């Protein structure tokens, strides 16, 4: 599982880990607000554009693994 996560977008991994660390009973409204923030962050990233380009070009994406990974491991 860790290998699969590190092969993907570091931006998506970071936002996933932060969301999972949130308190479980934070409530639906807070969870939805968090999801909106995560999507905005992901869509604005270079990794998102690389993913879109890779699909269009029918190739594996080459994500910038180090982008924001430092924040993911510390957050």
Structure tokens at 46: 């270079």
Length of the chain: 75
For residue 30, pLDDT beyond 80: yes
Look up the pTM and report it. Answer: 0.59
Domain that holds residue 37: 2-74
Question: pLDDT digits over 32-59, tens only?
Answer: 888 888 889 889 989 999 999 999 999 9
- Number of separate domains in the chain: 1
The three-state secondary structure class of 62 is coil
For residue 14, pLDDT beyond 60: yes
What mean pLDDT, rounded, does the chain reach? 77
Instruction: Supply the CATH number for residue 11's domain.
Output: 1.10.12
């Amino acid at each position: 599982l860790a290998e699969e996560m590190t092969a993907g977008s570091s931006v998506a991994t970071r936002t996933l880990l932060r969301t999972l660390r949130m308190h479980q009973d934070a409530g639906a409204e807070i969870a939805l607000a968090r999801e909106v923030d995560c999507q905005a962050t992901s869509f604005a990233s270079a990794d998102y554009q690389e993913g879109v380009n890779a699909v269009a070009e029918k190739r594996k994406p080459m994500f910038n693994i180090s982008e924001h990974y430092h924040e993911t491991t510390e957050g």
